[in-house]
Structure 1
Amino acid sequence: MSTRFVLASASPARLKTLRAAGIEPEVIVSGVDEDNVTAENPGELARLLAVLKARAVVANLTDHATVLGCDSVLEFDGVAYGKPGTPEVARERWRMMRGRRGVLHTGHCLFDTSSKQEIRELASTEVQFADLTDEEIDAYVETGEPLVVAGSFTVDGLGGPFVTAIEGDYHNVVGLSLPLLRRMLIEVGISWPELWRSQKPFRYDESVASTYDETRGGPARAAAAARAVDDLLRCPAAPAGASAGAQRVLELAVGTGIVGAELVALGNLVHGFDLSTAMLRRANVRLPGHVAAADATRLPVADRRCDAVVAVWLLHLLDDSEPVIAEVARVLRTDGVFVTTTEKSDAGRYADGRGPDDTRSQDALAHLVAVASRHGLVLDGATSFVGPTRNTDEVPIYPVVRFRRT
């Protein structure tokens, strides 16, 4: 039986740390008001906040799960420092911190609803800060990064060059201690490998790739799909006919590149990822130098770097589409768009004025809307196209939808 593992934190760094260690958690933000919580000392404050986050999420669960709550504070001279919030506070903090040592405390609370166990732990790491100049502090604060992280710094981001040494667990400074979490999981009867991804990537081999285009509608269907996608890539406020060609489009499961090449012909710059070597060989002919092997749940792209992500006929192949949607949300800039095909039989329901069926597959619209909303993606556009498939007389309608990153 698989373990439902929930991260009760909105921290991108914690999510990234878990993903790098092979765990894809379900993220549920607790909503705890951190500013109104007090404790005897900074370490106890971090632990208490972690407990409150975990309990807040557990209180709203409808089925069993193992929930991890975390919170970090930086201690200087016995005082706890969380997120500064404003540039003025961040500058003042850094002038106090530069050239000195502080202690980064991260509270961990693991709540396993099946065994009704709650484990509370604290990990603490000493951090030595560089002796920054006022100009360096001003430049760092202007990036915005120190405003939204505990202690006004990161060790895995733009603040990395300003941390000269750490004594303790590096990952604890990032946001959670992986060795500590492993020990906590063992206490509730869960081994670390149980949380590694069990879903095997879907790949097309050579026998499928060699006939893929001709058995799935060929250039005509690809061109129709590309036109529908291109319509949704355009800015809603732009004049009719204006192209979004200036955007760089990331296509997931690029396949043979047949749709991507059509998108390029419409003025888009397309970079494609796929897991199938056989498909990528063909895609590289159509999109030379712009395709690479990558898992759609672990894209080699930094946070908030993409204007647009496209997935055509991908989500229905998955056992669980949420990890892909979460990864799309991670790489999209604010107001960036995710354009994807949805379950084609939904089109008939729309035509009849009925809502989508929420019991269908991983690309069913109701399912996508619910999952996307958990990751900051809002449905804000839709279209459709028609095209032949698999050399039959069927001419299905393919819905295409657009989600915008908030």
Structure 2
Amino acid sequence: MSTAVDSTVEAAESAVAAGKQRPRFILASASPARLQTLRDAGVEPEVIVSGVDEDNVTAESPGELARTLATLKARAVVANLDDHATVLGCDSVLEIDGVGYGKPGTAEVARERLRAMRGRSGILHTGHCLFDTTTRHELRELASTTVHFADLTDDEIDAYVATGEPLVVAGSFTVDGLGGPFVTGIEGDYHNVVGVSLPLLRRMLAEVGIPWPALWQTPPPFEYDEAEAARYDETRGGTERAQAAAAAVHSLLPGGGRVVELAVGTGIVAAELVALGNLVHGVDLSTAMLRHAKVRLPGHVAVADAGRLPFGDRRCDAIVAVWLLHLLEDSDPVLAEVARVLRPGGVFVTTTEKTESSRYASGRTPADRRIQDALPHLIARATQYGLTLDGATTFPGPTKGTVPPATYPLVRFRRSLR
């Protein structure tokens, strides 16, 4: 890597160390393999499919075709953004004897291609286009990897085609899936064959001032170990409080839409919301807590920062935050994200005044320091993001001996229609 790029990386990493916010990173591709490759490397991109018609694009060479398609995908997504982001478009083309092959589309074509490829070698080209809307830089790069194929039998080809996998991937094969045993070797970057060259992407990001570690999920300010996660529910009121919280939240939801719970924890409240008929997805930073949430919400939880949600603009009907805001040093990033992902007219339901509720229940005076879930503060800040208070209720905490149970306020903010 050049000295100039080295210097850019060092400067960008210093910015991250100083607390710079993680950039919004968008993958302009529907490829599950590309998404999983980035996730395995610690990056959780926002996915926006470009909708580019690949069949009607031509170029002077297979490599240039891959780069052109990647560029068209990135530009198509950038054209529809209403906020700054760094967008990555990718596309792969397999070259054999100077001819480029994309997705075969049909079993007959896939079978024909695999028979022509067996026992031979090809070059897998992956075009990368990185468009950073803040700097207005567009980088177009190509990574190429030589792939050696096994001498497949006709029976192996027929069985592989019958799985459906080769019909939807460039070159009619995968190296990270069912096609892996049919690849005898590669010369170059393995990840490039899967669909995105991580070393190349790192260098491209550095050129626009973004170090690779800046895209990693932000570690939580505190982490629960497995033992703490296992006993968390019983130390926080258990099912009794979860059912009370869910019933109150449910009364403020519009119904029939997509609900996302921030800081979902073990999923105990979310599970009760599901029992009431809601479709709920949960995000949390604690992997220990999410291991429990995955049991209650299989397939509907993800590691994510509430200040950088993995959802597109205006995609959610309702956002729920139960006992989150009082933990934050600054609630503004969360409010901004809530406003971004809520559809016009969508609602944000959150607990408020948690600390004060507990103090009143135990006979103490209000705290001197106003924290991030204090209602006056929350109303003032939410207004800045187009969120207006339009509903409220309460729910009781669990009974604890002779101490009166706390009553927790729950409020609803509605996203403006603009």
Helix, strand or coil at the partner of 1:121: strand
1:259 deviation in Å? 9.3
* Aligned equivalents of 2:109, 2:229: Cα separation in 1: 57
Q: Is the 8 A contact 2:95 2:124 kept in 1?
A: yes
Helix, strand or coil at the partner of 1:198: coil
Deviations 1:124-143 (A, max 9, x none): 11111111111111111111
| Alignment match of 1:73 (pick from 82, 87, 93) | 93
Helix, strand or coil at the partner of 1:6: strand
Helix, strand or coil at the partner of 2:135: coil
* Aligned equivalents of 1:153, 1:139: Cα separation in 2: 13
Q: Is the 8 A contact 2:219 2:285 kept in 1?
A: no
**1:52 aligned to 2:105?**
no
**1:170 aligned to 2:157?**
no
**1:120 aligned to 2:140?**
yes
Helix, strand or coil at the partner of 2:112: helix
1:383-402 to structure 2, matched below 5 A, reads 388-391=396-399, 392=405, 394=407
1:190 deviation in Å? 2.1
* Aligned equivalents of 2:166, 2:227: Cα separation in 1: 51
* Aligned equivalents of 2:92, 2:166: Cα separation in 1: 14
1:219 deviation in Å? 3.9
The structure-2 alpha-carbon separation of the partners of 1:202 and 1:309, relative to structure 1 and needing over 3 Å to count, comes to: farther
| Alignment match of 2:33 (pick from 13, 31, 36) | 13
Deviations 1:163-202 (A, max 9, x none): 0011111111000111111221222222222222224276
Q: Which runs of 5+ in 2 are unaligned?
A: 1-19, 248-263, 275-283, 313-317, 324-332, 345-393, 400-404, 413-418
User: Equivalent residue for 2:212?
Assistant: 192
**1:322 aligned to 2:342?**
no
1:148 deviation in Å? 0.8
The structure-2 alpha-carbon separation of the partners of 1:253 and 1:180, relative to structure 1 and needing over 3 Å to count, comes to: same
> TM-score by structure 1 length?
0.61
Helix, strand or coil at the partner of 2:90: strand
AA aligned to 2:45 is P
Helix, strand or coil at the partner of 2:125: strand
Q: Is the 8 A contact 2:74 2:87 kept in 1?
A: yes
Cα RMSD, aligned residues only:
4.7
Deviations 1:76-128 (A, max 9, x none): 12111101111111111111111111111111111122222211111111111
* Aligned equivalents of 2:54, 2:158: Cα separation in 1: 27
* Aligned equivalents of 2:47, 2:56: Cα separation in 1: 23
The structure-2 alpha-carbon separation of the partners of 1:216 and 1:191, relative to structure 1 and needing over 3 Å to count, comes to: closer
* Aligned equivalents of 1:21, 1:124: Cα separation in 2: 20
Structure number, greater radius of gyration = 2
The structure-2 alpha-carbon separation of the partners of 1:131 and 1:210, relative to structure 1 and needing over 3 Å to count, comes to: closer
The structure-2 alpha-carbon separation of the partners of 1:398 and 1:308, relative to structure 1 and needing over 3 Å to count, comes to: farther
> Identity over aligned residues, as a percent?
64
AA aligned to 2:76 is A
Deviations 1:270-302 (A, max 9, x none): xxx99476x7xxxxxxxxxxx958xx8xx9x9x
User: Equivalent residue for 2:266?
Assistant: 254
| Alignment match of 1:150 (pick from 170, 178, 188) | 170
User: Equivalent residue for 2:124?
Assistant: 104
* Aligned equivalents of 2:50, 2:198: Cα separation in 1: 21
Single out whichever of 88-97 and 62-71 deviates more from structure 2: 62-71
* Aligned equivalents of 1:7, 1:223: Cα separation in 2: 38
1:366 deviation in Å? 9.7
* Aligned equivalents of 1:108, 1:205: Cα separation in 2: 39
AA aligned to 1:8 is A
* Aligned equivalents of 1:204, 1:31: Cα separation in 2: 41
* Aligned equivalents of 2:155, 2:45: Cα separation in 1: 39
* Aligned equivalents of 2:227, 2:157: Cα separation in 1: 57
Q: Is the 8 A contact 2:396 2:407 kept in 1?
A: yes
Single out whichever of 101-110 and 359-368 deviates more from structure 2: 359-368
Helix, strand or coil at the partner of 2:147: strand
Q: Which runs of 5+ in 1 are unaligned?
A: 228-251, 264-272, 280-290, 327-339, 346-358, 371-385, 400-406
* Aligned equivalents of 1:208, 1:292: Cα separation in 2: 12
Runs of 4+ in 1 over 6 A off after TM superposition: 205-211, 223-227, 257-261, 362-366, 395-399
1:214-293 to structure 2, matched below 5 A, reads 216-221=236-241, 253-254=265-266, 275=286
* Aligned equivalents of 1:68, 1:206: Cα separation in 2: 36
Helix, strand or coil at the partner of 1:322: coil
AA aligned to 2:158 is D
* Aligned equivalents of 2:96, 2:286: Cα separation in 1: 47
